Amino acid sequence: MNMIRLVHAVSAVLVLTMTTGCWDRDELNDLALVTALALDQGKNNDIVTTIQFLLPRSQSGVGGTGGGGGGGGGMNKETAVRTASGVNVADALSKLQRRMPRKLFWGQCKIFIFGEELAHKGIQESLDLLSRHPQPRERSFVFVSAGKASDNLELFPPLERTSAEALRKLSEMDIGYKLTLQQLNSKLVDDSEALAIPYIHVLKKSKAAAPGQTIPYVYGSAVMKGDRMIGVMSEKVTRGMMWLNDDIGDYTITFWMDGRSQGAISLRPIVAHIKTTPLIQGDQWMIKVKVNVEGDMLQNGTAYNPVDPQLLAKMDKAFEKDVRDRIELTVQQAQHKFNADIFDFAKAFHRKYPKQWEKEKGNWDKRFPQVKVTMDITAHILRSGLILAPDGMPHDEVIP
């Protein structure tokens, strides 16, 4: 009786595992671990896809696979790239798969790069695949590249194993602008229909480095209206945008005292609290920005001794002015140069004034440049560091 049940159970398990199991199995040896995907505009409206994948055998140490000693130019290449083009991304990737002896594995791909040309034409269609496909991660980072996107993949960073890894670590350091696939997707359908994507360049390699031994890095951002790129914002303006979006992380801010006459002061880390409040008065749409920012002195290039409260107040003033200038510059560029609501003011108005927003919705392109941004900034230098008076400056030169 019990024996029969046991036999039944065992045969059920065997049927389950033997007849059905394993079809999803992918041994690591049968996978190509894709680290980054670059999408470029090809000829005849084609999409060119380039992947960067890990070469598992090139590491030193394990596995005496022999092989021709010393191969290439002395640099230990850990990645390779492969390219294919097609009508759309899926088509191109399926062609790419035909040129790869191993199955493409997207689970570890954390970098997607759009070429500038493709970004100008629109990225929405290509994004569809990245979100629809189960393997790519929602939290991977998206970039627009200056020039061709694929160029960023054929680099061999001196520090990281892959250029994709270098980009990922740079983004995760929280000092620059970054955007994940998920954020990109949600920003694309936001009320403002405008956003900025980190813009990457290839860092000029140092003289002694081997060819290609450098990394891509983020500098500035690509301004997108809808899913099309309309221009490039400088790093400074991008940071202004981060200020307004309360995205500002750990980074050093440097400003001049009284124009350029007195020398520069650098502060870090910055603790900033930024609050934006929309306000509609009659026909005037306004955004009130309240900034509360604090920082520690890192370098004092002026002759001011920060121990003096009056001088410190002066420094605070200069600090405050610098922050104001940054934000104003960004707002100015967004409103008048690009006419792209990269700050998502639209959503703020939509939330607070849903009725007015319903009426003005179609008119946002005209409305946005007229939105008045007022600022209320409180800036403080909290600590002067280990020393007080500027270091190495004769006492009589220090302004007390």
Partner 1 sequence: MRTRYKPTASASRVPRNRRELTEEEKQELVLSLADNVQRLQALYSNCSDVIVRRFAIGGVTDAALVYIDGLIDTDKADRYIVTPLMDADGPKELNLIRLAEQRISVSDMKAVATIGDCISAISNGQPVLLRDQEASGLAFGLPSWEKRAIEEPEAESTIRGPREGFTETLRVNTSMLRRIIKSPLMKLEKIVIGEYTQTNVVLVYIEGLADTALLQEARTRLEGIRIDGILESGYIEEMIEDNPRSPFPQLLNTERPDVVCAALLEGRIAILTEGTPHALIAPISLFSLLQSPEDYYQRFWPSTLIRWLRYIFAFISLVLPSFYVAVTSYHQEMVPGALLSSMATSREPVPFPALFEALLMEVTFEALREAGVRLPKQVGAAVSIVGALVVGQAAVQAGLVSAPMVIVVAITGIASFMLPRYIAGIAIRMLRFPLIFLGGTLGLLGIMMGIILIVLHLCRLQSFGMPYLQSITTMQRSDIKDIVMRAPWWALDIRPQLNSKPQTKREAPNQMPDNQ
- Crossing angle of helices 235-244/309-332, nearest 10°? 100
Q: Return the number of the residue (139 or 366) whose C-beta is nearest partner 1.
A: 139
Query: Which 3 state secondary structure label does DSSP give 77?
Result: coil
Q: Please confirm whether the linkage preceding 269 is cis (ω < 30° from 0).
A: yes
Distance between CA atoms of residues 127 and 134, nearest Å: 13
Least distance to partner 1, CB of residue 25, Å: 5
Q: Return the number of the residue (45 or 65) whose C-beta is nearest partner 1.
A: 65
Sign of CA dihedral 22, 27, 30, 32: positive
Query: Is residue 122 within 8 Å of 47, Cβ to Cβ?
Result: no
Least distance to partner 1, CB of residue 203, Å: 22
Q: Return the number of the residue (23 or 386) whose C-beta is nearest partner 1.
A: 23
Q: Return the number of the residue (25 or 98) whose C-beta is nearest partner 1.
A: 25
Tokens for 72, please give them.
Answer: 């290439």
Contacting positions for partner 1 (CB under 8 A): 2, 16-17, 21-22, 24-29, 31, 33, 35, 54, 56-57, 59, 62-65, 105, 107-108, 110, 135, 137, 161, 165
Least distance to partner 1, CB of residue 59, Å: 5
Q: Return the number of the residue (12 or 387) whose C-beta is nearest partner 1.
A: 12
Tokens for 221, please give them.
Answer: 């951002």
Query: Is residue 244 within 8 Å of 327, Cβ to Cβ?
Result: yes
Q: Is residue 22 left, alpha or beta, with left meaning phi > 0 and alpha meaning psi from -120 to 50?
A: left
Least distance to partner 1, CB of residue 113, Å: 17
Least distance to partner 1, CB of residue 30, Å: 9
Q: Return the number of the residue (55 or 329) whose C-beta is nearest partner 1.
A: 55
Least distance to partner 1, CB of residue 80, Å: 13
Residue 347 CA: distances (Å) to CA of 98, 227, 283: 45, 18, 18
